[in-house]
Amino acid sequence: IAGITQAPTSQILAAGRRMTLRCTQDMRHNAMYWYRQDLGLGLRLIHYSNTAGTTGKGEVPDGYSVSRANTDDFPLTLASAVPSQTSVYFCASSDSILGQENTGELFFGEGSRLTVL
Amino acid sequence: GQNIDQPTEMTATEGAIVQINCTYQTSGFNGLFWYQQHAGEAPTFLSYNVLDGLEEKGRFSSFLSRSKGYSYLLLKELQMKDSASYLCAAMDSNYQLIWGAGTKLIIKP
């Protein structure tokens, strides 16, 4: 089934450790996004990529980095995890840049629940 | 600043109608989105409005008033499977999505 795959589904991590959340899509979408979702808050954009080879910072980029070496993969790395990064992380994609050519529908992965102790 | 307001929680009865309101303040406006999110799952797209008026899609309808910075999602003939959180998001002038915290809808038999 076409879509977005995230891994791991959940992870408990010690503070200070490095962690990479993986995201792969097979829909050949150009744009990809990483969001975090915390109780009582709306989804917050961490980083995005409008096309392979380019990335940009979202609303809450500090402590996170991304890369977009090809169309399908968009990993999110926490260089040195802190407890405030405990959250559910969603990867999403859209077939073109939001607001251009399409309605901006985002397709989300199932999420990665990360707990930093 | 940019802001989205929607009720935290609502309760409705199976078979009834419920209206979930959303007000927004953004720097510019390029559309209003509604997503459904079941507990522990990914959000899924429901609707997109950029012009004033009502868009109907089966049991779900979405309304937009740009002059009032207001939208609502109307769910008819409620079913138990409609129990979920409903996320409102507005797109600003930079095509960034500003998300509300979501409205948790509880359906009772």
What share of chain A has pLDDT > 70, as a percent?
Answer: 91
**Per the CB < 8 Å rule, is A110 touching B48?**
no
pLDDT, position A19: 97
pLDDT, position A98: 59
Range A91-113 average pLDDT: 81
Which chain A residue lies closest to B42 (C-alpha atoms)? Answer: A110
As a whole number of Å, the end-to-end CA separation of chain B is: 40
- Compare CB distances from A103 to B43, B48, B102 and report the shortest one's residue: B48
> How many whole angstroms separate alpha carbon A114 and alpha carbon B68?
39
pLDDT at A86 over 80: yes
> In degrees, to the nearest 5, what angle opens at C-alpha A77 toward C-alphas A75 and A78?
155
pLDDT at A100 over 70: no
B93/A contact by beta carbon, under 8 A: no
Q: What is the pLDDT of residues B43-81, one digit of tens each?
A: 999 999 999 999 999 999 999 999 999 999 999 999 999
Q: What is the pLDDT of residues B13-52, one digit of tens each?
A: 999 999 999 999 999 999 999 999 999 999 999 999 999 9
Q: How many CB pairs under 8 A join A and B?
A: 56
**Per the CB < 8 Å rule, is A110 touching B43?**
no
| pLDDT category of residue B93 using cuts at 50, 70 and 90 | confident
* Cα separation values, B34 from A19, A67, B71, B103, Å: 32, 29, 9, 11
| pLDDT category of residue A97 using cuts at 50, 70 and 90 | low
Task: Supply the DSSP string of A65-112, one letter for each residue.
Answer: EE--SSSSB--EEESS--GGG-EEEEEEEESSSTTSSS----EE---E
**Per the CB < 8 Å rule, is A104 touching B33?**
yes
**Per the CB < 8 Å rule, is B87 touching A108?**
no
